[in-house]
Amino acid sequence: MKVLAILGAGNKTRNTATMLRSAFDGAMSVPGAEGELLSLFDLTFKGCVGCHACKLLDEKHFARCALKDDLTPVLAKAIEADVILIGSPMYFNDVTGATRSFLERLFFPAITYNKDRTPTYPKRARVGWVFTMNAPGDFYTEFFKGLVGSTSWIIGDAEYAIAYGTQQFEDYSKYAATMFDVETVKRRHLEQFPEDCKTAFEMGKRLAETIGGGTHA
């Protein structure tokens, strides 16, 4: 069972990275799991350039992204993975630009313009999203549902775990950030964020157990 975790946050030590690592550890706790955790910010790559090579019926790259860069081997690993875990903070009502570019390159080759709209990848994966944000808990609910819905259609059954009201700074007095109740944010980080990480761990474990239990379609 192959597990691939993709970090779409620039900071490798803060909230998103910590929570994604928890999800990854959960998946890796299942016997038979083999996995890798990669950071998109270690790679040099572009988003989809609209070449449409992945749609050409006589093209060797049919259903595969034709661009060649640092993301190319990562896409190959994602297509072969049984469990994919993706973590991103929310920036301006969306995932990070790096995460978005990764999704364009993974999602678009997997679908055709045929009437049946059947995804083309050889197998279905289980996908777990991890989202972090300083916004209230229900702020992005519709966005999460939409992205998870697209993921479920194109890649495989997906779900998500979130951490909201997250702590971004150690010393808020050094930043233009007077909108936050600092004591509440710090208390939440100490009390709730560990629980959010546990939720992510259980999600990763559950997804991997689904594969290991022989119910993978």
Indicate whether 96 belongs to any domain.
yes
**Residue 103: per-residue pLDDT:** 98
Domain-located, residue 107:
yes
Domain assignment present for 183: yes
- Which has the closest alpha carbon to 199: 48, 2, 22? 22
Question: At 118, is the pLDDT very low, low, confident or very high (cuts 50, 70, 90)?
Answer: confident
pLDDT at 125: 97
Q: Residue 158 maps to which CATH number? A: 3.40.50.360
| 30-45 residue pLDDT tens | 999 999 999 999 999 9
For the cut 80, the answer to whether the pLDDT of residue 212 exceeds it is no
Q: Is residue 33 part of a domain?
A: yes
Tell me if 158 is assigned to some domain: yes
Please answer whether residues 163 and 139 qualify as being in contact, where contact means their C-beta atoms are separated by less than 8 angstroms: no
- Per-residue pLDDT at 214: 45
Domain encompassing residue 94: 2-212
At 98 the pLDDT is 98
What dihedral angle (degrees, nearest 10) is formed by the CA atoms of 198, 26, 8, 78? -150
- Considering its fold, how many domains does the chain have in total? 1
| 47 pLDDT more than 90 | yes
Evaluate whether residue 19 is within a structural domain. Answer: yes
Q: Looking at the domain assignment, is residue 49 inside a domain?
A: yes
pLDDT averaged over every residue in the chain = 94
Return left, alpha or beta for 50; rule: phi > 0 is left, psi -120 to 50 is alpha, else beta: left
217 in any annotated domain: no
Give the residue-averaged pLDDT of 120-149.
95
Q: How far apart are CA 79 and CA 77, in angstroms?
A: 5
- β-pair partners for 5: 37, 85
Does residue 207 sit in helix, strand or coil?
Answer: helix
pLDDT tens per residue, range 194-210? 999 999 999 999 999 99
